[in-house]
A and B are shown apart, each in its own frame.
Chain A
């Protein structure tokens, strides 16, 4: 997330998902034989969808919205793996790559014009950056799962698999697709609609800044930035059509042995139409809150303050991991304990042996007086004692 935007695009679109979801998909034989493994993966996936989507809902940083969106979408893929949808999981990975790379590069283009990722400093960029806006909108619609864009097809199939396997998963996934549309269109409205709020101030001291130009007068990026956006938006529109006639499924399932194949359920108009309605409802809600401000976002935040706080603090997960576990428990308490043991007990014993040696010799030093009489007396006493002992041991 903190990396350069093209790197974020690559990580979120391809490498990170490839590492996790692909690895899990490769292990389908384990999922195939173990219901426990499937259930665990599916529930973790379902939890990830909700956690990612709800956190994305309250971020003010455009890139963070996209980053938490990726987490949520990875949850969809994991959920699919947990309900026998190996091919669907890979399919969603495939379509997601197009629109998520597009969205990240779009956020980079916006940053290039405004010197910020903070959406509170943006607004109104629709007219100033038309290419960025339209491509970003295509990516957003695709991610929200609007027919006939790529995201619609892959997400629809995940919902379908979930419906057939376990209704609870379907409900979670459907609720989250409302949230997906909501947080993405929140970002769109905040960034591209309304009035421009001036962008980020340029810090001349910051040696790492590459910003050139004037954030007060944003402009469309050059073709080196807009061309990739256009190319990727073609994929964000059309990549889903590959599933026509289950072509993509056959492609993936060639790698799965016949006995492990679970026939994908057939396309269902009911699921498709209802999920589209859910997504449209999300868009409408975003429009009402963030564009028309029928219900101001500030009001919602105040009313549901505890929930807003939990979401803004990311379910306190960062606090738990960074502060509690890494800093306090691991570094301060445990490593500190081991280190003190190492210093005081282990090395203390070593130094203690040295100390004992020098102490005892400084005591024994006193009998080395150099007086012959004393040595002679000691000798005689020694002989006497030995003689006594010998007599006691072997009486004559």
Chain B
């Protein structure tokens, strides 16, 4: 019951916000904040109630949904040590996104309703344990995203929204074929059961099924060369949507690969492991090179995301328990850090109305708080020890080195490059000569901005100095996966 409440609470808040009378539209944000805070509280309660030492699924909500006789499609929600941290990440970033949207004035009811529906869809993806239900939530996420980008976005917003949807849907088509092929072989959509089955008589070769699933998830991660929707979506999306997109939506891809591709088809994952690692390392480097050329702050962060998410794939490609734990941790760290980066850049954009690096500069003097936030988030993104990103990166490197030396060496080089492009960007935006254009722009000043920035920064530090808080939870869940791979 807990998970059902958790998943649908944001949507319920969204519906309430939507149904407000027009003259009370300004309360929509408060309802969204209340809903997201309640969801956050519930997810934290689940986090501390969760029995960390054991593998397997907890807080199971299960009912038969569609029974066709030969097939049973279930309403089946559950979490394990892999998905619960991602659930908390989602509720946390949802709250931050609502806070950062407090100054939205265009159609606030529909805006907050879409944002909350997005949260429900993502929470559904992370908790659904029936493959069709999972797919349903996976597709549901597109609907609010399309609206949020194309209505509240900027620049070529319709193009970017459409591109985002088409990419995901194209991937989903492959995924659906794979889901059906698996289900016809095992006679179930139950992910927990599929994760323990072996498949002999499938309509498609298992290699194809693996690849089809992988394509569906890889678009979301995203991998090179399926990544070009990401910078467009980021640069044209409103701040809160960028936060959700980089913070949690990309993690749906990594989560899907671990949960579905690797767990259900471990043999094929092993066969393709070297390719996954190679694509991951290539994404790290390629993303880094392109990042160096970006002149728009949001596009720069978007391409750096491509680079940093490549590490997740590299960790998955190594398949050892350390590397997989590293991949899972890197997802959390990247979610918080990139979320924070977009939050701060969004606040800065509110003041300056530009994201062109060439027009910014010397902001440390006029906007000391924003500049501090940018420098902190930048350092975290570089992977400074004692901040969350470092733990994720080092764990991936340690776990993957023995299996894929060259890929790891390439990725380490990419990590060095990330120090280059981040510090260079900080130098051009935050330091250097003062531009008097921004004298009156003002600094971070609203309580909601402070709350979002400080909350995320605190978590980045917490996960950087006390990784066991999460590691103890991820470990047993990953043990189950890696044991299946080595069996």
Residues of B within 8 A of A342 (CB): 228, 286, 290
Beyond the given pairs A331-B293, A339-B293, 18 more chain A to chain B contacts, judged by CB atoms under 8 angstroms and listed by A's residue number, are A207-B434, A330-B292, A331-B292, A334-B289, A335-B290, A335-B293, A338-B289, A338-B290, A339-B289, A339-B290, A342-B228, A342-B286, A342-B290, A346-B225, A346-B228, A350-B228, A350-B229, A354-B166
Residues of B within 8 A of A331 (CB): 292-293
A336 near B: Cβ within 8 Å?
Answer: yes
Residues of A within 8 A of B229 (CB): 350
Contact of A350 among B163, B289, B434 (CB under 8 A): B163
Q: Say yes or no: B163 contacts A335, CB within 8 Å.
A: no
Residues of A within 8 A of B167 (CB): 350
Least Cβ–Cβ distance between A79 and chain B, in angstroms: 27
Closest-by-CB residue of B relative to A340 is B293
A-B contact pairs, 30 of them (CB 8 A): A207-B365, A207-B434, A330-B292, A331-B292, A331-B293, A334-B289, A335-B289, A335-B290, A335-B292, A335-B293, A336-B293, A338-B286, A338-B289, A338-B290, A338-B293, A339-B289, A339-B290, A339-B293, A342-B228, A342-B286, A342-B290, A346-B224, A346-B225, A346-B227, A346-B228, A347-B228, A350-B163, A350-B228, A350-B229, A354-B166
Least Cβ–Cβ distance between B434 and chain A, in angstroms: 8
Interface set of A (CB-CB < 8 Å, partner B) = 207, 330-331, 334-336, 338-339, 342, 346-347, 350, 354
Residues of B within 8 A of A334 (CB): 289
Among A334, A336, A338, chain B packs the most CB atoms within 10 A around the CB of A338
Residues of A within 8 A of B286 (CB): 338, 342
The docked-state distance in angstroms from the alpha carbon of A214 to that of B365 is 27
Q: Considering the complex, which residues of chain B in the window 147-197 have a beta carbon less than 8 Å from any beta carbon of chain A?
A: 163, 166-167
The docked-state distance in angstroms from the alpha carbon of A338 to that of B282 is 12
Q: Considering the complex, which residues of chain B in the window 254-294 have a beta carbon less than 8 Å from any beta carbon of chain A?
A: 286, 289-290, 292-293
Closest-by-CB residue of A relative to B285 is A338
Least Cβ–Cβ distance between A205 and chain B, in angstroms: 11
The docked-state distance in angstroms from the alpha carbon of A330 to that of B167 is 31
Least Cβ–Cβ distance between B44 and chain A, in angstroms: 40
Q: 3 shortest A-B CB distances, which residue pairs?
A: A339-B293, A347-B228, A338-B289
The docked-state distance in angstroms from the alpha carbon of A330 to that of B289 is 9
Sort chain B's interface into a size bin. 10 to 19
Closest-by-CB residue of A relative to B162 is A354
Q: Considering the complex, which residues of chain B in the window 287-319 have a beta carbon less than 8 Å from any beta carbon of chain A?
A: 289-290, 292-293
Residues of B within 8 A of A207 (CB): 365, 434
The docked-state distance in angstroms from the alpha carbon of A312 to that of B166 is 58
The docked-state distance in angstroms from the alpha carbon of A259 to that of B480 is 47
Residues of B within 8 A of A346 (CB): 224-225, 227-228
The docked-state distance in angstroms from the alpha carbon of A346 to that of B228 is 7
The docked-state distance in angstroms from the alpha carbon of A335 to that of B228 is 16
Least Cβ–Cβ distance between B137 and chain A, in angstroms: 26
Least Cβ–Cβ distance between A156 and chain B, in angstroms: 39
Least Cβ–Cβ distance between A236 and chain B, in angstroms: 34
Closest-by-CB residue of B relative to A348 is B228
Among B224, B225, B227, B434, chain A packs the most CB atoms within 10 A around the CB of B225
Least Cβ–Cβ distance between A233 and chain B, in angstroms: 36
Closest-by-CB residue of A relative to B434 is A207
Least Cβ–Cβ distance between A12 and chain B, in angstroms: 21
Residues of B within 8 A of A336 (CB): 293
The docked-state distance in angstroms from the alpha carbon of A27 to that of B292 is 34
Closest-by-CB residue of A relative to B225 is A346
Closest-by-CB residue of A relative to B303 is A342
The docked-state distance in angstroms from the alpha carbon of A334 to that of B293 is 10
Closest-by-CB residue of A relative to B228 is A347
The docked-state distance in angstroms from the alpha carbon of A331 to that of B228 is 21
Residues of B within 8 A of A330 (CB): 292
The docked-state distance in angstroms from the alpha carbon of A347 to that of B434 is 36
The docked-state distance in angstroms from the alpha carbon of A338 to that of B166 is 25
Least Cβ–Cβ distance between B310 and chain A, in angstroms: 14
The docked-state distance in angstroms from the alpha carbon of A338 to that of B292 is 10
The docked-state distance in angstroms from the alpha carbon of A346 to that of B306 is 14
The docked-state distance in angstroms from the alpha carbon of A339 to that of B291 is 8
Least Cβ–Cβ distance between B166 and chain A, in angstroms: 8
The docked-state distance in angstroms from the alpha carbon of A336 to that of B289 is 8
Q: Considering the complex, which residues of chain B in the window 216-241 have a beta carbon less than 8 Å from any beta carbon of chain A?
A: 224-225, 227-229
Closest-by-CB residue of B relative to A342 is B290
The docked-state distance in angstroms from the alpha carbon of A339 to that of B421 is 14
Closest-by-CB residue of B relative to A332 is B293
Least Cβ–Cβ distance between B293 and chain A, in angstroms: 4
Least Cβ–Cβ distance between A121 and chain B, in angstroms: 24
Closest-by-CB residue of A relative to B293 is A339
Residues of A within 8 A of B290 (CB): 335, 338-339, 342
The docked-state distance in angstroms from the alpha carbon of A87 to that of B31 is 68
Residues of A within 8 A of B166 (CB): 354
The docked-state distance in angstroms from the alpha carbon of A207 to that of B228 is 43
Least Cβ–Cβ distance between A334 and chain B, in angstroms: 7
Residues of B within 8 A of A354 (CB): 166
Residues of B within 8 A of A339 (CB): 289-290, 293
Least Cβ–Cβ distance between B184 and chain A, in angstroms: 30
The docked-state distance in angstroms from the alpha carbon of A342 to that of B228 is 8
Closest-by-CB residue of B relative to A347 is B228
The docked-state distance in angstroms from the alpha carbon of A358 to that of B293 is 31
The docked-state distance in angstroms from the alpha carbon of A120 to that of B67 is 91
The docked-state distance in angstroms from the alpha carbon of A350 to that of B226 is 9
Residues of B within 8 A of A347 (CB): 228
Closest-by-CB residue of B relative to A345 is B225
The docked-state distance in angstroms from the alpha carbon of A342 to that of B289 is 10
Residues of B within 8 A of A350 (CB): 163, 167, 228-229
The docked-state distance in angstroms from the alpha carbon of A338 to that of B286 is 7
The docked-state distance in angstroms from the alpha carbon of A207 to that of B436 is 13
Residues of B within 8 A of A338 (CB): 286, 289-290, 293
Least Cβ–Cβ distance between B180 and chain A, in angstroms: 25
The docked-state distance in angstroms from the alpha carbon of A163 to that of B319 is 53
The docked-state distance in angstroms from the alpha carbon of A338 to that of B163 is 22
Closest-by-CB residue of A relative to B167 is A350
Closest-by-CB residue of B relative to A334 is B289
Residues of A within 8 A of B225 (CB): 346
The docked-state distance in angstroms from the alpha carbon of A347 to that of B299 is 14
Least Cβ–Cβ distance between B116 and chain A, in angstroms: 31
The docked-state distance in angstroms from the alpha carbon of A334 to that of B289 is 8
